[in-house]
């Protein structure tokens, strides 16, 4: 049970709600959309680094390995977003934004949970899923990455991470039973009807 | 210029903001996620019909053909969502929710902008984009549609609507110039530098 | 002292505030009033069942007998509201909403604190306090109740619950002293003046 | 159609919503409940006078006779509340709060729509509806009223205003048809079914 | 780490945020500005006493001597504000507002942390910092203070409190090092560059 | 009367309220205070340029000379803030932030109402009011200004603007009468008493 905000459990059980750690709901006022491209990019650059700062504090608050594993991955991929906005700003204005990274001044490589993804060069890759769209992405995502390596656009999903779901195989409660969807649905209906007849 | 809410123009120019027609920002409190499947489906059923009611009022407030064209399409496709939630609730509980549709009691077929999509059977189709996922969709989206026709799951995007983008071809300001992306980007940079030297 | 939200004690002492369990104030956005009768009834049906879900979670969170006693009573009387909205929807649209009750699928009879009120048929009664108004209530509140018994409109207050206040008689702090109101007021004034002269 | 806030019409049609004239929803933060009786009374005294100030501005903004009629009545009855809180504060603390009334310094008697109710002494009466409760009301609501007359507690509803509903008699759309409730309900059902069969 | 609201630490570390003890942000709706002088003064009188009530509850919640020291000082100086608004209201309306002070009915002199400032007559002084402005302050801040002593306007800062900063001298972490600002700035830059080269 | 938001007039008359142009109140969530100096400076740099963008839109919306005069002055002085944050970021990180100014890419010199202040070098001056504090300001506010001229810290208020208040001299309603404060206060009291006796 949530020790900070009992409302979360009362309203949502184990479901997620779009609220912050203090229970305040997300608000449309968080969306910045000025119509000025440089200002909008600057806001996103700022936002990615704010997210990083907050995530560093969450890392500091928990020793839970699952949480830290997720944070390590997010440090690396969130870094891709920050660097991409910085590169876009540099292309348009000539200002070398990325020289102020990382914010805060603690590199991703210091966290073992992030370092392992950097060793796989995950921080240098932008994935393109559509066969036709976003073809000009490499106009912005190119050149050196501030954490080392060259920025590359990859066609298709991140295959180097593909095997990681297998890790769940041994954990009973996480392993989905080998039923066809229709069977699962049928069982749900039967359980429901049974409950109804109580 | 926005005659109701000058803040919108000041903050966002011609950009969109996630606010309602009175300027109130969207809030995370709008998300209902109770952890009880029937209650969550019931909320979505209710929500789709609320959206329909509001859109009917917008239709009433405007004679702009572009707005009404969009509303006509949304009446039909929003109807698909309402009917889908109704069918899911019926499968689980046996209650024939869709017999209370349409809400309000004015059918889509009364609006020429919606009628033309119903003549194309657009109200009966649920599109499945992924080759592997959502294969059990037809467990819910099946049988008769309350507005006529049989519910069908279609693999791939709505091809019967594919040609409609051509309509913009003749409108100068809407027609993207025939440049390669790199050329457009280079021109933007040159204009920007030029403005910088003023 | 409130262990979750110190603001409550600071601002209100032992008084109540119209905030949720996380401290968020009630907002007028919770009021749904669309002008469409079926949609408004559907929202209230949904809302009563959401309240029930939340109260079930509160029941689960506490073993305090006073809290559970109150919850047991609310399960039964809140159920009256849900069933009444369901019956109104059925009369208007023919859809048998109440066949999806109870939501969640755990009947009131499972809770001893609620069961005792059902044994008194409290779940089947709607009380009418005014001699003239709401005479057509029995047009909606009639027929079988999904939890058993026949729905009945009762003229006057719930007399079968009238004796329950006597339970407080033996508890000193809960028993109001046998003074006339004017005497109480006079004493308050004297205490106040005395404090003033300190 | 609402010329200021189109959201109101879109969401609620002709229904009312608990929002202010700018569309902001009522919030639980408006409730002041400190647990200190003098502070709570002081807040209510302040609030009644704020309401009066705002209503004076609305009076100034409109020449609509129905709106001004309602405002005139509210000036007089809202004044009863302000004076009652002022008297309660004086009884408890000795401070003659009501000597600062009216706020703003424009008396109710200046408005013809209010003056006619003062001529009926409506500003001096507090109505008590229950045969048993609130018997000590005259401990607070007594003595002279700052606008003239003596404060009186009246048992029962304001009979001197009872005839005023007759004024609506001649207006067709405001006059409820002479049907029995069951008949009205039956007609609603028939209209609904008929719409359903379209 | 904040035990009530983890969001505070995540977003702000050890920085302060303009939120209440439950994490709700300050809102512009707290500003009352009616354009009626008496109503505005009355609101401020009310507000100062609300702040006092809340601070009394915080005093009750903590035994931390630093917190209580600060509260003691605020009781006395906050009292100056309440009394000043009360005097302004009395000058304008003749109503002796300050006869209802203190709210709540527990005098500042009961708290040793406040008593010591009253012994220095800090509760009777209003400080005027500008050589030219606010010269008419003594038109309002004059006569007897409800807690004893005569109200006085003092030109210049509170010199009788000037020595109190010396108390920090012996605490290492609170004592700023004896560097020139440029030196501190240079060191910050060097540390920053060093971190950058890691 | 406010044509967009009638609530403003109802609640505040001609007073100002801390709300945006759409009536939404200021919220403490607008305060960004992360505890990371670079991130906090970056946010302020972003914010000053957002304010500039919004003010440019207001300039575009109005031809009122008083509004444009104020905007012209704010373009120049707001620019000082943006440039100052940019210089602080450059000193700490080496990134030449100010090379992306102005945002939007329309220089202040294009607006006659701003140009006249630039001709007075108002855009290059930071004013220091205290004899002792902020002595190290010139560590950041130095070197060239992107709009021309050298950045200078000035001790004392902006004397070059001192004469501008004289412009109001001929306007009757703006000219304060030549009374001593006590006389003004006495007259207010008399008017108030007179109103009281009506």
| pLDDT digit string, tens, across residues F76-102 | 999 999 999 999 999 999 999 999 999
Structure confidence by residue, pLDDT tens digits, C73-109: 999 999 999 999 999 999 999 999 999 999 999 999 9
Note the pLDDT of residue D131.
73
Q: Taking 60 as the threshold, does the pLDDT of residue F15 lie above it?
A: yes
Q: Which of residues 92-111 of B touch D (CB under 8 A)?
A: 105, 107
Note the pLDDT of residue F161.
80
- Per-residue pLDDT band for B129 (boundaries 50, 70, 90) equals confident
Q: Taking 70 as the threshold, does the pLDDT of residue B177 lie above it?
A: no
Q: Taking 80 as the threshold, does the pLDDT of residue B173 lie above it?
A: no
- By the 8 A CB rule, do A61 and E46 touch? no
- Per-residue pLDDT band for A169 (boundaries 50, 70, 90) equals very low
Q: How far apart are CA C90 and CA C38, in angstroms?
A: 10
Enter the tokens of residue B94.
Answer: 């046996």
- Per-residue pLDDT band for D170 (boundaries 50, 70, 90) equals very low
Q: How far apart are CA B137 and CA E31, in angstroms?
A: 53
Lowest mean pLDDT among A131-140, B165-174, F8-17: B165-174
Which residue of chain F has the CA closest to B8? Answer: F22
Q: Select the residue of F6, F24, F198 nearest D107 (Cβ to Cβ).
A: F198
- How close does chain F come to E182, measured CA to CA in Å? 7
Q: Select the residue of C4, C24, C107 nearest A6 (Cβ to Cβ).
A: C4
Which residue of chain C has the CA closest to D188? Answer: C92
- By the 8 A CB rule, do C83 and C146 touch? yes
Count the neighbouring beta carbons within 10 Å of the beta carbon of residue E172.
Answer: 5
Which residues lie across from F106 on neighbouring strands?
none
Predicted ipTM of the assembly: 0.83
Sign of CA dihedral A22, A28, A31, A36: negative
Which residue of chain D has the CA closest to E104? Answer: D36
Note the pLDDT of residue E174.
34
Lowest mean pLDDT among A170-179, B145-154, B163-172, D45-54: A170-179
Which residue of chain D has the CA closest to B56? Answer: D10
- How close does chain E come to F134, measured CA to CA in Å? 10
Which residue of chain B has the CA closest to C52? Answer: B39
Q: Taking 50 as the threshold, does the pLDDT of residue F61 lie above it?
A: yes
Q: Taking 60 as the threshold, does the pLDDT of residue B180 lie above it?
A: no
- By the 8 A CB rule, do E37 and E92 touch? yes
Q: How far apart are CA C105 and CA C100, in angstroms?
A: 9
3-state secondary structure of A2: coil
3-state secondary structure of D167: helix
Mean pLDDT of D167-194: 47
Q: Which of residues 139-158 of A touch F (CB under 8 A)?
A: none
Q: Does E18 touch chain F (CB under 8 A)?
A: yes
CB contact under 8 A, D25 and C27: yes
Q: Taking 90 as the threshold, does the pLDDT of residue D194 lie above it?
A: no
Question: Which positions ≥6 away from E167 have C-beta within 8 Å?
Answer: none
Note the pLDDT of residue A194.
64
Note the pLDDT of residue F14.
86
DSSP state of D177: P
Q: Taking 70 as the threshold, does the pLDDT of residue C45 lie above it?
A: yes
Q: Which of residues 173-192 of E touch A (CB under 8 A)?
A: 192
Highest mean pLDDT among A58-62, D59-63, F45-49: F45-49
pLDDT tens digit at each of 198 positions of chain E: 446 688 999 999 889 999 999 899 999 999 999 999 999 999 999 999 999 999 999 999 999 999 999 999 999 999 999 999 999 999 999 999 999 999 999 999 999 999 999 999 999 999 998 877 888 899 999 999 999 999 999 998 888 886 554 443 333 333 333 444 455 455 556 666 666 665
CB contact under 8 A, E20 and C4: no
- Per-residue pLDDT band for B195 (boundaries 50, 70, 90) equals low
Q: Select the residue of D15, D18, D91 nearest C35 (Cβ to Cβ).
A: D15
Q: Select the residue of F4, F20, F105 nearest B4 (Cβ to Cβ).
A: F4
* Run of H or E residues at E82: helix E65-93
Note the pLDDT of residue E14.
86
- How close does chain B come to C95, measured CA to CA in Å? 6
Structure confidence by residue, pLDDT tens digits, F100-111: 999 999 999 999
Count the neighbouring beta carbons within 10 Å of the beta carbon of residue B15.
Answer: 15
Q: Does B130 touch chain A (CB under 8 A)?
A: no
Note the pLDDT of residue E197.
62
Average pLDDT of chain D? Answer: 85
Mean pLDDT of D79-97: 97
Q: How far apart are CA D102 and CA D45, in angstroms?
A: 12
DSSP state of A18: S
Q: How far apart are CA E61 and CA C1, in angstroms?
A: 9
Which residue of chain E has the CA closest to F91? Answer: E189
Q: How far apart are CA A177 and CA A174, in angstroms?
A: 9
CB contact under 8 A, F100 and A95: yes
- How close does chain C come to B107, measured CA to CA in Å? 15
- How close does chain E come to F37, measured CA to CA in Å? 11
Count of CB contacts below 8 A, B vs F? 34
Lowest mean pLDDT among A71-80, A183-192, B6-15: A183-192
Q: Which of D186, D114, D183 is nearest to D147 (CA)?
A: D114
Q: Does C34 touch chain B (CB under 8 A)?
A: yes
Note the pLDDT of residue B6.
86
Q: Does F195 touch chain D (CB under 8 A)?
A: yes
Q: Taking 80 as the threshold, does the pLDDT of residue B179 lie above it?
A: no
Q: Does E58 touch chain D (CB under 8 A)?
A: no
Contacting subunits of F (3+ beta carbon pairs below 8 A): A, B, D, E
Mean pLDDT of A128-147: 90
Instruction: Let me know if chains D and A touch, i.e. at least 3 Cβ pairs under 8 angstroms.
Output: no
Sign of CA dihedral A48, A49, A53, A55: positive
Note the pLDDT of residue F110.
95
Lowest mean pLDDT among A162-176, C47-61, E145-159: A162-176
Q: Does A168 touch chain F (CB under 8 A)?
A: no
Q: Which residue has the tokens 């007609």?
A: D187
Q: Taking 60 as the threshold, does the pLDDT of residue B165 lie above it?
A: no
Test the E interface: residue of D36, D57, D86 with most E CBs within 10 Å: D36
Structure confidence by residue, pLDDT tens digits, B40-88: 999 999 999 999 999 999 999 999 999 999 999 999 999 999 999 999 9
Structure confidence by residue, pLDDT tens digits, A5-34: 889 999 998 899 999 998 999 999 999 999
Question: Which positions ≥6 away from D63 have C-beta within 8 Å?
Answer: none
DSSP state of A177: P
Q: Taking 80 as the threshold, does the pLDDT of residue F162 lie above it?
A: no
The three-state DSSP-derived secondary structure of chain C is CCCCCHHHHHHHCCCCCCECCCCCECEHHHCCCCCCHHHHHHHHHHHHHHHHHHHHHHHHHCCCHHHHHHHHHHHHHHHHHHHHHHHHHHHHHCCCHHHHCCCCCCCHHHCHHHHHHHHCCHHHEEEECCCCCCHHHHHCCCCECCCCCECEEEECCCHHHHHHHHHHHHCHHHCCCCCCHHHHHHHHHHHHHHHHHC
Test the E interface: residue of F5, F10, F28, F36 with most E CBs within 10 Å: F28
Note the pLDDT of residue A185.
53
> E65: burial class by Cβ within 10 Å (0-12, 13-18, 19+)?
exposed
Test the D interface: residue of B6, B8, B21 with most D CBs within 10 Å: B21
Lowest mean pLDDT among A105-114, A121-130, B69-78, D186-195: D186-195
Q: Does A19 touch chain B (CB under 8 A)?
A: yes
Residue A105: list chain E partners with CB under 8 A: 192, 195-196
Question: Which positions ≥6 away from F55 have C-beta within 8 Å?
Answer: F71, F74, F75, F78
- Per-residue pLDDT band for A177 (boundaries 50, 70, 90) equals very low
- Per-residue pLDDT band for B186 (boundaries 50, 70, 90) equals low
Residue D24 backbone phi and psi in degrees, to 5 = -75, 130
Enter the tokens of residue E90.
Answer: 């009395």
- How close does chain B come to C29, measured CA to CA in Å? 9
Q: Which residue has the tokens 């859809």?
A: C95
pTM for the model stands at 0.85
DSSP state of F36: -
Q: Taking 70 as the threshold, does the pLDDT of residue F11 lie above it?
A: yes
Residue B93: list chain A partners with CB under 8 A: 192
Note the pLDDT of residue B47.
98
- How close does chain D come to C25, measured CA to CA in Å? 5
Note the pLDDT of residue D177.
37
3-state secondary structure of F79: helix
Q: Does D169 touch chain B (CB under 8 A)?
A: no
Which residue of chain D has the CA closest to B54? Answer: D10
CB contact under 8 A, E39 and D27: no
Structure confidence by residue, pLDDT tens digits, D107-148: 999 999 999 999 999 999 999 988 778 889 999 999 999 999
Test the E interface: residue of A18, A21, A104 with most E CBs within 10 Å: A21
Q: Select the residue of D7, D192, D195 nearest B20 (Cβ to Cβ).
A: D7
Mean pLDDT of F37-62: 96
CB contact under 8 A, A139 and B182: yes
Q: Does E131 touch chain F (CB under 8 A)?
A: no
């Amino acid at each position: 049970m949530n020790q900070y905000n009992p409302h979360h459990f009362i309203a949502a059980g184990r479901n997620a709600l779009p609220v912050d750690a203090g229970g305040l709901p997300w608000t449309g006022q968080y969306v910045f959309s000025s119509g000025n491209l440089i200002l909008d990019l600057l806001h996103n650059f700022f936002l990615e680094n704010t997210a990083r700062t907050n995530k560093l504090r969450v890392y500091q608050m928990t020793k839970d390995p699952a949480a830290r594993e997720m944070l390590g991955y997010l440090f690396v991929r969130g870094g891709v977003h920050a660097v991409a906005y910085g590169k876009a700003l540099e292309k348009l204005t000539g200002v070398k934004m990325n020289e102020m990274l990382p914010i805060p001044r603690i590199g991703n490589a210091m966290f073992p949970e992030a370092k392992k993804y950097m060793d796989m060069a995950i921080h240098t890759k932008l994935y393109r899923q559509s066969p036709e769209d976003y073809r000009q992405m490499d106009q912005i995502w190119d050149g050196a990455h501030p954490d080392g390596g060259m920025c590359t656009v990859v066609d298709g999903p991140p295959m180097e991470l593909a095997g990681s779901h297998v890790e769940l195989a041994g954990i009973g409660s996480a392993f989905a039973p080998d039923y066809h969807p229709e069977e699962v649905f049928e069982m749900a209906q039967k359980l429901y009807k049974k409950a109804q007849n109580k």
